[in-house]
């Protein structure tokens, strides 16, 4: 995510880490390349560039402010904890 924010030249908003969430993750596409003979057709940099070419389309997307994030994720912990109440 940090790389995408960097490419978009955006501001980073940090939210609380969820229980069990790893500190970092890295995509290793070695297995899919080998097993399915697949490889990405474009780089993340090119993909972000395409997104930016059509940024007006995306301007209508909802903005995730810290308040909206808190509201949207307020019940995550009860589900992660195994209770539905």
- For the segment 31-53, what is each residue's pLDDT rounded down to a tens digit? 999 999 999 999 989 998 998 89
Collect the ranges in the chain with pLDDT lower than 50. Answer: 84-85
> For residue 82, what pLDDT is reported?
56
Q: What is the mean pLDDT of the chain?
A: 84
Instruction: Please name the residue that has the structure tokens 């057709």.
Output: 41
**Residue 69, number of CB atoms within 10 A of its CB:** 14
* Helix/strand number for the chain, H first, E second: 6, 0
> For residue 32, what pLDDT is reported?
92
> For residue 19, what pLDDT is reported?
83
């Amino acid at each position: 995510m940090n790389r995408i924010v960097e490419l978009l030249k955006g501001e980073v908003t940090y939210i609380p880490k969820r229980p069990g969430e790893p500190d970092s993750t890295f995509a290793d596409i070695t297995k899919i390349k080998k097993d399915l003979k697949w490889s990405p057709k474009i780089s993340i940099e090119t993909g972000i560039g395409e997104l930016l070419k059509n940024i007006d389309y995306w301007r209508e997307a909802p903005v995730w402010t810290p308040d909206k994030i808190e509201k949207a994720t307020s019940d995550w912990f009860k589900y992660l904890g195994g209770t539905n109440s």
